Structure 1
């Protein structure tokens, strides 16, 4: 079974990020680009070294777009809009390396576009079947 929710350590704890259609629309209006365009813009310029995401070339993606996507994905999991905005303001660039924001954005978009496999027998799979 696939789901479209991403999980990552952010703002000092493990959090879920989800883009229901309403948040996709809100992001696309704010960022003036589609989730597919942002995914492409990030994907063509990143790679992996060991367990780290690295920049391997220039990208048309902006931090403003990344921060908007992260904020909308937090709201998608039920965070109040003000709280989501504050989390992005406090915990994203310049509070941490910009590459971490780019990598988180790509992870959220990958889950939204391709889905994330839920392992057989997992708690999430059991909850989805109930």
Structure 2
């Protein structure tokens, strides 16, 4: 399931940004009752990427207040960051100071635009989290499967792992020989 929280490099560390419903409502209110969908469209209209770096492509109509408030409220919503390997809490004063120090006019506008758009993108579309896939255990083939495979192979041949080694097994009588294979030695069909 997609997450609506996003972690980004910002300011002097790596911060988590999240816009829960109360923060979304506050963002819309402080930005002139403009919906987050409208802000998302305005920010995204002029935003592009050149490799890993954001670039302004022209045509966007994002407002400075929208960018700064999205970042500030995203910081407040998550209340978390990592600076110099330590986890920190981000309260209202810290969030305001980070925005003042690390966004326009102290940093290029495009940096803040990209961060604000990423925060809104997570809130609107969600971010797919990369989780480790569970290890799929190979199913041990049943005797019926072995017998059917041997019959399908005609002159009788199965390629399988037995005792940890890959082996080709030939059957003179596929049905009878397949039944004599001890299932405890079979790790899975290949």
Q: Same fold (TM over 0.5)?
A: yes
CA distance in 2, matches of 1:2, 1:71: 23
Which TM-score applies when normalising by structure 1? Answer: 0.88
**Scaled by the length of structure 2, what TM-score is found?**
0.61
Aligned to 2:123: 112
Q: Does 1:74 align with 2:75?
A: yes
Compute the displacement of 1:108 (Å). 0.6
Q: How many residues align?
A: 122
Gaps of 5+ in 2: 80-89, 134-190
The alpha-carbon deviation at position 60 of structure 1 amounts to 1.7
Distance in structure 2 (CA, Å) of the matches to 1:89 and 1:48:
25
Unaligned residue ranges in structure 1 (runs of 5+):
123-130
RMSD: 1.3
The structural deviation recorded for 1:46 is: 1.5
2:11 corresponds to 1:11: yes
Q: Does 1:30 align with 2:30?
A: yes
* Higher Cα radius of gyration: 2
Higher relative contact order (CA 8 A, sep 6+): 1
Q: Which runs of structure 1 show a deviation greater than 2 angstroms over 4 or more consecutive aligned residues?
A: none
Distance 2:49 2:98 in 1: 26
